[in-house]
Amino acid sequence: MSEATAKTTEAKAGAAFEPRIAAFVCNWCTYTGADLAGTSRIQMAPNVRVVRLPCTGRIDPMFIIKAFERGADGVIVSGCHPGDCHYSAGNYHARRRFAIFREIMSFIGIDPNRITFSWVSASEGRKWGDVVDETVSRIRGLGPFAGYKNLVEKTHAGA
Amino acid sequence: MSRIGVFVCHCGENIGRTVDVARVAEAMRGLPGVAHAVDYKYMCSDPGQAMIKQAIAEKQLTGVVVAACSPHMHEKTFRRAAAGGGINPFLCEMANVREHCSWIHEDREKATEKAIDITRMIVEKVKRNAPLTTIRIPVERRALVIGGGIAGIQAALDIADGGREVVLVEKEPSIGGHMSQLSETFPTLDCSQCILTPRMVEVFQHPRIKLLTYSEVESVEGYIGNFKVKIRKKARSIDESKCNGCGECQKTCPNRRIPSEFDQGLGKRTAIYVPFPQAVPNLPVIDREKCSYFRGKAKGSKKEVCGKCRAACGRGAILFDQEDSFVEEKVGAIVVATGYRLYEIGKEQDSELLKGYGEYGYGTIPDVIDGLQFERLASASGPTSGAIQRPSDGKVPKRIVFLQCIGSRDPAKGIEYCSKICCMYVAKHTMLYRHKVHDGQATVFYMDIRANGKGYDEFVRRAIEEDGARYVRGRVSRMYRDGDVIKVLGYDTVNGTPLSIDADMVVLATAMRPQPGIQGLAQKLSVSYDKHGFINEAHPKLRPVETNTAGVYVAGACQSPRDIPDSVAMASAAASKVLGLFSNEELEREPTVAVVNADLCTGCFHCERVCAYGAITRKEIRDRNGNLVKVVADVNKGVCQGCGTCQATCPSKSLELAGFTDDQIYAAINAFAEL
């Protein structure tokens, strides 16, 4: 176990559980919506770390699995509303991809409730705050997710 | 080993108040690969940028991370600063610790922790950034305009007057479009032809406009700045260089009773014909389906059945054996202005839902006509020389009923949208009618009056108050012929009473629909269209004349129902976009496009199927003897918009989106959980 992960475990054991959440968002709608939340000073839970991508079409489901493997307790995927994609159809491809991914999540050992899929447009700063807060409180209720991380650590210990 | 410089901004108090900026810089200093980390009050100020430039030189930085505001705000500023310091601008990125952190959190401890995370994630990403070079594409500074109606004419003239060459393609034998069919135009009652014909002639005579009538776009290849367009010139059966438009051929043609398209079937034409007297170019065309010569040949008769026009032509300009020819044009931009057609009541349509209004008897009752037919009746150049006469017996109708919203705003008939022009042209028709038949009564059945242009509502009021049009709010359920009159059965929804009106003639204000074949054209241009077939603009408010395909613009009624002023305004807007594009010899593009690793590509072409831009092409890989080894995907950098959908779809991971590679994203995810 690395020093860094030891610290996390300690911190988690000491204080109340603070979920760590990764958000994969598109540059044009949700990222800009999150910017608007900032300029509007909309307060929200500080647990989410945003990864900016050009389009939800770029989001590989492996990113989500990787985030869980690295210790995320929850994931948000958010982009432009259907019909509003900057690239005209990227979000439709993403929607289809995640409809299938959602089906296989339980099978691969992830509670589907740990992932939020949402559409947040560039003008929906308030909605972004709500998505963040709602996801954080839901994940808080579900507790920490260590299944994937433990698996990886065990594999590394055995190797 | 990377040598990343991290520059943490206070943004005055905006970041510094909630985030312990010094601690963020301190935390970065301990990271492997970070050679320099400082904080400063205003990174975006001149001294702030100078700090970055100086540090790049002094510390031999290989990458720069600026932890400050949103990249949407200042990424360009800092990339320029990085370039000024001597490194590739794409080795500089921003960590958004203002909009995504200090402004949305109050807890200083938690906000600082988050700012450290955000910055570290970007540091890890930048370590894997590759230098990128802005893509430069040469621009062919000529434009293609598709459609020779008023929108196409305006766009072509504006571009040509702006100093660039234009190819104008029109599928009909003459330019002019629907506007040339109109009698007068609302709200000024200008004579339509009087204001249009000079513009048509101007197009014809313009040294920078190449006019191709009776022609259609066959195929389009390429991308913004570099389109290759193949145009089919349909056989007119005329030698254009010899014909002088004298009209002798038409006089001899024995087929004289063919319904004229220009007169909406109310007038007749010959098989060799000029669509209307002011046609541009003034050249006839042979309608091969109606011409005796061609019909005889089609039936296999060995002797020539006709050929009178050829005999009559003193210049030997009639060419019966002419075939379709093709022209190839290289252009840098395309304006689509294919216009509209009217909802064809009771006729064979392209959708089951659109076969509505059998109850109105259009097609069986000869005195039930549509709006464009009324225009021809009212027009001085029309079949009755401007006299309002009913088609069945030529009598002057004393009672006319106009029905608005035929097909428009009627989801049950397949069209939900408002056709925009009908309220106005019906008001105009009632006026034109009263100006010619002083004792006539015009009754209008309407749902709402939508007269929202300059001087429009006043115009409708004038029709009602000065010219005595009777407006009835309600719909008509049925019409039938009773001897000489048409019985119109409707319902007045204001008074709540059923209504039966005897009419001599009924005019249906039918919906505007896009031209047939628009879907095929849209696919050739890879632009999208809505469920009604209208071309989609890139953004309804901010990019109304652009399409989602770079370099393809849209004007007029092919985008949605438009009246003449709107079409002209759109056409000029599209032309200014084209001239803007042509203001440089080269086009600059962001280099964040997809790149294929041909060694890994298995040639499954899933990427080709998901690409909304048609940017993926197929490339043959051959060995040194020229034998085909495999076919792989290739990205056209000019077309790729950098969405990355292809990369997420690629099963062999052989596509990488520059700036957002898997390596970069996974590094950021890894950094996310390092704490």
The per-residue pLDDT for range B328-341, each reduced to its tens digit, is 999 999 999 999 99
Q: What are the pLDDT digits (tens) for B416-466? A: 999 999 999 999 999 999 999 999 999 999 999 999 999 999 999 999 999
CA A101, CA A59: separation in Å to the nearest integer?
Answer: 12
The partner residue sitting opposite A57, judged by closest CB among B101, B106, B644, is: B644
**Distance separating alpha carbons of residues B423 and B35, to the nearest angstrom:** 71
Q: Which of A35, A127, A150 to mutate to test the interface with B (most CBs of B within 10 A)?
A: A35
- Do A58 and B668 lie within an 8 Å CB cutoff? no
Q: Which of A49, A58, A66 sits opposite B121 (nearest CB)?
A: A49
Model confidence pLDDT, tens digit, residues B178-229:
999 999 999 999 999 999 999 999 999 999 999 999 999 999 988 899 999 9
- Whether the CB of A33 is below 8 Å from some CB of chain B: the reply is no
**Alpha-carbon gap: B138 to the closest alpha carbon of chain A (Å):** 24
Q: Does A42 touch chain B (CB under 8 A)?
A: yes
Task: List, as ranges, residues 93-122 from A with C-beta within 8 Å of B.
Answer: 93-94, 97
From the candidates A1, A24, A41, A49, which should be mutated to test the interface with B, based on the most B CB atoms within 10 A?
A49
Q: pLDDT digits over B458-487, tens only?
A: 999 999 999 999 999 999 999 999 999 999
Those residues whose C-beta lies under 8 Å from the C-beta of residue B52, and which sit 6 or more positions away, are B5, B7, B43, B64, B66, B78, B81, B82, B85
Instruction: Give tens-digit pLDDT for B262-303.
Output: 999 999 999 999 999 999 999 999 999 999 999 998 888 888
A20 has a chain B CB within 8 A of its CB? yes
Distance of CA B289 to the CA centre of its chain: 32
Q: Which of B663, B675, B672 is nearest to B127 (CA)?
A: B663
Quote ipTM for the complex. Answer: 0.90
Residues of A in contact with B662 (CB under 8 A): 60
Cα angle A16-B674-A58, degrees, rounded to a multiple of 5: 105
Of A35, A71, A86, nearest to B99 by CB-CB distance is A35
Query: Which residues of B, range 517-576, sit inside 8 Å of A by Cβ?
Result: 528, 548
Residue A58 to residue B660, Cβ atoms within 8 A:
yes
Whether the CB of B666 is below 8 Å from some CB of chain A: the reply is yes
Residues 6+ apart with CB under 8 A from A49: A20, A21, A22, A23, B114, B117, B118, B121, B672
Q: Is the pLDDT reported for residue A12 higher than 70?
A: no
For residue B647, which residues of chain A lie inside 8 Å, CB to CB? 58, 60
pLDDT at position A1? 41
Whether B672 and A72 lie within 8 Å, measured CB to CB: yes
Count the Cβ atoms, other than its own, within 10 Å of residue B315: 13
8 Å CB contact of B660 and A53: yes
Angle between helices B71-84 and A30-39 (to 10 degrees): 100
HSE, side-chain direction, 13 A CA sphere, residue B541: 1
Residue of B nearest to A4 (CA): B675
User: B108 at the A interface (CB within 8 A)?
Assistant: no
Is B100 near chain A, with CB under 8 Å?
yes
Assess B622–A contact: CB distance below 8 Å, yes or no: no
- Residues with Cβ < 8 Å from A128, sequence gap 6 or more? A30, A33, A34, A36, A37, A42, A44, A78, A120
What confidence tier does B347 reach under pLDDT thresholds 50, 70, 90? low
Give the per-residue pLDDT at A94: 93
Q: How confident is the model at residue B604 (pLDDT cuts 50, 70, 90)?
A: very high
Average pLDDT for residues A78-84, to the nearest whole number? 87
Give A89's contacts in chain B (Cβ within 8 Å): 610, 612, 645
Q: Does B16 touch chain A (CB under 8 A)?
A: no
Characterize the bridge pairing of strands B368-370 and B285-286.
unpaired
* Mutant choice from B18, B73, B100 vs A, greatest count of A C-beta within 10 A: B100
Closest CA to B263 of B370, B171, B185: B370
Q: What is this structure's pTM?
A: 0.77
Nearest to B669 among A32, A52, A63 (CB): A63
Q: What is the pLDDT of residues B543-583, one digit of tens each?
A: 899 998 889 999 999 999 999 999 999 999 999 999 999 99
Mutate to test the interface with A, among B660, B669, B675 (most CBs of A within 10 A): B669
